[in-house]
Structure 1
């Protein structure tokens, strides 16, 4: 991606007949737009609400695992070899079950996050397209994806894009 953007920038800069003074570039931080915009905040709140009970359950299971491990360590000197092996086997089973549930939780959460963010991203891309055309930008670059190190404040358009996205979301 960086290579592509660098090549695109070089081609734009060095094409004959293209004047650098006529090229207007905007830089937007897409992560900031999504996290600071009204639709992004609504999606995150919905995500938190949906998975709060699952997270609470996982936290309880994690505490139970910790207690089981501590109990196993305290009793290891007193238990017979067979009883100790049974406890260790039970502990491993509980840990494995917890890990499986945690992975399922992460997959489910990622899937739900993708589902919630898809309409926001579609709207965001159309907002950026309209904003770019209305303000005569030659290109608008995602500053986070391009690995941007420095940009003059005059080319950063993150806040106006957030405002436009919020307007478009409310109109929708």
Structure 2
């Protein structure tokens, strides 16, 4: 699918550049724009706080569980086989629950990141379209997607996108403060 998209872009670019003098290509580093605009930085700070809180909670539980396991190791010689087996199974279950919780937290944080960045990316796309129309560009490509192997005379719009986004009236990121 991606290869066919790249082929289509190259074909269109080639056909347009040979067929029309006015072909103009723009490039945007969408990741850089997302990380640089005020709303993106605010979303990142918010997410980092959530990550830190989750990590600290998991580390605390892991430390407590580790201490419990060490205590068991010291006392295990005094326990009969049935009690030893029961405690080992209990500890193993707790470790597995902690691993499951860590995986769920990771998925939850990824979902939260998408929730925070989607409205910003949507607004960035609107800004990109607006700049493209203002500049009379024929095509704008995302710089880091690997779709552009070579282009001559391209115009990097990333800084303009960042400036225009930060000065826009919508200000999606103000909700994330």
- Matched residue, 1:7: 8
Are the counterparts in 2 of residues 58 and 98 from structure 1 also a CA contact under 8 Å?
Answer: yes
Q: Following the alignment from structure 2 to structure 1, what is the Cα–Cα distance between the partners of residues 17 and 47?
A: 50
Seen in structure 2, the aligned counterparts of structure 1 residues 66 and 158 have a Cα distance that, compared at 3 Å, is: farther
Seen in structure 2, the aligned counterparts of structure 1 residues 81 and 5 have a Cα distance that, compared at 3 Å, is: same
Q: What SS does structure 1 have at the residue aligned with 2:168?
A: helix
Q: Following the alignment from structure 2 to structure 1, what is the Cα–Cα distance between the partners of residues 168 and 121?
A: 12
How far is 1:138 from its partner? 1.0
- Matched residue, 2:175: none
Seen in structure 2, the aligned counterparts of structure 1 residues 52 and 171 have a Cα distance that, compared at 3 Å, is: closer
Q: Following the alignment from structure 1 to structure 2, what is the Cα–Cα distance between the partners of residues 44 and 85?
A: 46
- String of CA shifts for 1:83-142, please: whole Å, max 9, x gaps: 432232122111121122222212322222222212211110100000111111111111
Q: Give the alignment's TM-score, normalised by structure 2.
A: 0.78
How far is 1:24 from its partner? 1.2
Q: Following the alignment from structure 1 to structure 2, what is the Cα–Cα distance between the partners of residues 153 and 12?
A: 13
Q: Following the alignment from structure 1 to structure 2, what is the Cα–Cα distance between the partners of residues 153 and 79?
A: 77
Are the counterparts in 2 of residues 29 and 158 from structure 1 also a CA contact under 8 Å?
Answer: yes
Q: Following the alignment from structure 2 to structure 1, what is the Cα–Cα distance between the partners of residues 149 and 61?
A: 43
Are the counterparts in 1 of residues 69 and 91 from structure 2 also a CA contact under 8 Å?
Answer: yes
- String of CA shifts for 1:20-63, please: whole Å, max 9, x gaps: x5221111111111112211011111222345333221111122
Q: Following the alignment from structure 2 to structure 1, what is the Cα–Cα distance between the partners of residues 91 and 109?
A: 27
Once superposed, what is the RMSD of the aligned Cα atoms?
A: 3.0
Q: Give the alignment's TM-score, normalised by structure 1.
A: 0.80
